[in-house]
Amino acid sequence: MEALIDLLLEKAAGLLGHEVGDLKQMAYASNLGWLWDFARDYLFNYKIWILGLLPALLMELYRPVFRKRLVTPNLVLDVAYPLLTLPISLLVTSAIVVGIQRFYEVYIPFANLGLLDDAPLWVQAIGVFLVTDLMFYWSHRLSHEIPWLWYFHTIHHSQTEMNPMTTKRGHPGEAIAKTVIRTLPIGVVGGEPSTWIAFFLLNNFWGYFIHANVRSNLGALSRVIVTPQYHRVHHSIETRHFDLNYGERLTLWDWAFGTLYTGYDEYPATGVRGTEWIVERTFSPVGLVASWTKQMVYPFYKIGESFKTVYRKVVRRAT
C-alpha cells in the first residue's frame, strides 16, 4: 500500500510540476501536515483496515441475516473498490480539503473561529463527533434528494448482498461531493487533530459494522445509535423504506428531521431496482472489471438521460 501511495504522489507531483517533497511542504504550510500523517498512518495502513473489518466479519458469521457463501462476487468487488477508486479519491479530495482551508484563510478569516481549540480534550471529542455526524447526515440525505448526486450514490446502494466491505463501495464522484460538505465546518469548529483522527478511526469500524449481514439491532441501543438492522432498512429495496434512516452513527438526526423509521425488527432485501445490469454476478476477472466499469459509467449515463428528457420537453413545447 505504501508503494502505491508513493507512486500516486509521484504522478500527482509530476502533473503539478513539483517534487513529492514539495507537495508535503505545501501540505504542512497549509496547516494540513497532520492530515498527511493521518493518511499515511491510518487510512493507508492495512493493519487498521483488518482490525476494523475482522470484528464485523466474525459477527456476520455468528448471526447473519441470511446464510450465504463466505466469498461472493459482491464481496470481491467491494474489497477491490478502495484500491480501484483510491487514485482518484485521494488526489481530488486532498485538493478539496486544501482548497477549503485556504478559502477560510483568504476570503473568510473571520469564520475561522476554532471554537473547540481551547476546550478540554473530552469536550473536543464530543463536539467533533456531533458536528461531523450531523454533516454526515446531511451529506447523505442530499445524496438521495438531489438527482445528480443520487446517480453517484446509487452505486453504493446497488449492493444486493450486504457485507462489511460494502462501506467501501462508492463512486469517486460521490466521495468528492461528500468531502466538500463534510469538510466545511472544520475551520469553524477547530479542535486538536487527534480528536478528528479518533473520530475517523471510529467511523472506519462503524462503517464495516452497520453494513454487515448481521441480524442485530442491539436492543434498546437501536433508539440511540445506528445498527446493522437500522442501516439495512435504509438500503432496502422496498418503497416504504425509501429516503429514511439517513443517520450513520446516531439516530438523533433522523428523529430531529423527521426521517426516522421505527420498525426495529425488519430485515428487508437490499439493492436498487433497475440497476441489475451493473451488479456483479461472476468471479471472472473480466466480468468483475466489466461490472466495475459499468458502475463508474452509470452516473454519467443517467445524467445524459436527464439531459435528453429536458431536451424532449423543450422540443415538445416548441412544437
Could you give phi then psi for residue 44, rounded to 5 degrees? -110, 20
Distances (CA, A) of 300 to 171, 173, 213, 306, 307: 11, 10, 30, 10, 11
20 pLDDT higher than 80: no
Angle between helical axes of 121-145 and 172-183 (0-180°, round to 10): 130
Q: What is the pLDDT of residue 59?
A: 85
Instruction: List the one residue out of 250, 258, 229, 281 whose CA is nearest residue 73.
Output: 281
37 pLDDT higher than 80: no
| Tens-digit pLDDT profile for residues 194-207 | 555 556 556 667 88
263 pLDDT higher than 90: yes
How confident is the model over 133-148, as a mean pLDDT?
92
18 pLDDT higher than 60: no
How confident is the model over 34-61, as a mean pLDDT?
66
**R_g over Cα of the chain:** 21
pTM (2 d.p.): 0.78
User: Residue 17: which pLDDT band, with cuts at 50, 70 and 90?
Assistant: very low
Task: Point out the least confidently predicted range of 16-20, 144-148, 246-250.
Answer: 16-20
For the chain, give me the number of helices (H) and strands (E)? 13, 0
b or e along 165-187 (b: 16 or more beta carbons within 10 Å of the residue's beta carbon)? Answer: bbbbbbbbbbbbbbbebbbbbbb
User: Residue 84: which pLDDT band, with cuts at 50, 70 and 90?
Assistant: confident
Instruction: Check: CB of residue 151 under 8 Å from CB of residue 299.
Output: yes
| Tens-digit pLDDT profile for residues 146-187 | 999 999 999 999 999 999 999 989 998 888 777 777 767 766
Q: What is the pLDDT of residue 101?
A: 64
**DSSP state, residue 212:** S
User: Residue 135: which pLDDT band, with cuts at 50, 70 and 90?
Assistant: confident
How confident is the model over 283-291, as a mean pLDDT?
91
User: Residue 125: which pLDDT band, with cuts at 50, 70 and 90?
Assistant: confident
Q: Which of 86-95, 170-179, 280-289 has the highest mean pLDDT?
A: 280-289
48 pLDDT higher than 90: no
Task: Point out the least confidently predicted range of 116-120, 212-216, 220-224, 278-282.
Answer: 116-120
216 pLDDT higher than 60: yes
Q: Identify any residues that bridge with 250 across adjacent strands, giving them in sequence order.
A: 225
Q: What CA–CA distance (Å, rounded) separates 256 from 36? A: 35
